[in-house]
Amino acid sequence: MEQFEFTEHSHRRYNPLNGDWVLVSPHRTKRPWQGKVEKPAIEERPQYDEKCYLCPGNERAGGHKNPDYKDVFVFQNDFSALMPDIPEGNYTKGELYKAESERGFCKVICFSPRHDLTIPEMEVSNIRKVVDLWCDEYKEIGSLDYINHVQIFENKGDIMGCSNPHPHGQIWGQYSVPVEPAKESKMQKAYFEKHGKTLLEDYVVEELKSGERVLVENEHFVALIPFWATWPFEAMIVSKRAVSNITQLSDDEKTALADVYKKLTVMYDNLFEVSFPYSAGMHQAPTDGEEHPEWHLHMHFYPPLLRSATVKKFMVGYEMMANAQRDITAEQAAQRLRDLPTTHYKTK
């Protein structure tokens, strides 16, 4: 009887962070990078764009004017999805209809005054300033009595819904804990109560032992392709020390986070020699005033590119109606990224 092989046969992989499963079908694309690879022309952007509403000194869409900022800059989103001053209310009709008001607010963080840069093109010292601002905002927003979750995230590329190429991210604070972090909270708590350690603390140890899915590491952080990855080149940055939120990082750990953030995104850009699109988000403990020793700080990266800058993976059909599915194994994706040069392709 034929022996089962991860690299040859369809199988399911379990995600212990959220309890979901992903279907892996490696036989569909045994040589996923040997097809046609199209390289679009490198987009050249100016350091300053007078029409950009995020550049220093420019007027934003909401009518406010940006200061002449020199480093990072944060402001309340002019068109926030969440508002702090809505009235409390709810609606219930039997067991099938339920709604409730949701308070919160949204902020925008400009990573750099330069319009032409992205995270992989920035210096680690400047990315560290982004990390410091994340810490300040998580602490400030999370201290509000009606904010129980702070979501830090970045959308890069227009196919990820990013309407402005100026390097920036967002921070949303809200009363309830959203669906994905709530799933992770439940799973991490169950693991911690059973083992007395965080789920990701044990997971990182095992991944570093094998090295098969590890992309890059330094003294304090590791970037890897999760065993249960769904997107083609999905990755995760995890702290080696178990900390529940970003404010608990030491000075050296904050710099280490900036370092791994840059190295991972350089790998992404080098893969198809294009500004690589992704959605990235930091998951950390709720800000409900309770202790959360079960939580372990980590950052997810979900990029859609599959074979080239023009061949993408979208969650449609089976993925939307049934189950997440991928063709490239996590191990193949990790090897592909590890084989790339460590310097950004634009510097060649």
Give catalytic residue positions. Answer: 168
Query: What is the largest distance, in Å, between two alpha-carbon atoms of the chain?
Result: 70
**Residue type, position 128, single letter:** R
**Alpha-carbon gap, residue 273 to 65, rounded angstroms:** 35
How far apart (Å, rounded) are the C-alpha atoms in residues 6 and 26? Answer: 8
Q: Cα(63)–Cα(76) distance, rounded to whole angstroms?
A: 13
Instruction: Please give the Cα distance from 111 to 2 (Å, whole number).
Output: 53
Distances (CA, A) of 177 to 126, 243, 296, 322: 31, 19, 16, 25
Residue 11's alpha-carbon distances to 131, 227, 235, 275, in angstroms, are: 38, 12, 20, 32
Report the alpha-carbon distance of residue 34 to residue 29 in Å, rounded: 10
Distance of alpha carbon 13 from alpha carbon 16, whole angstroms: 10
Question: Which residues have CB under 8 Å from 70's CB, separation 6+?
Answer: 56, 113
**Tokens describing residue 36:** 């046609």
Q: Virtual CA dihedral for 322, 302, 170, 134, nearest 10 degrees? A: 120
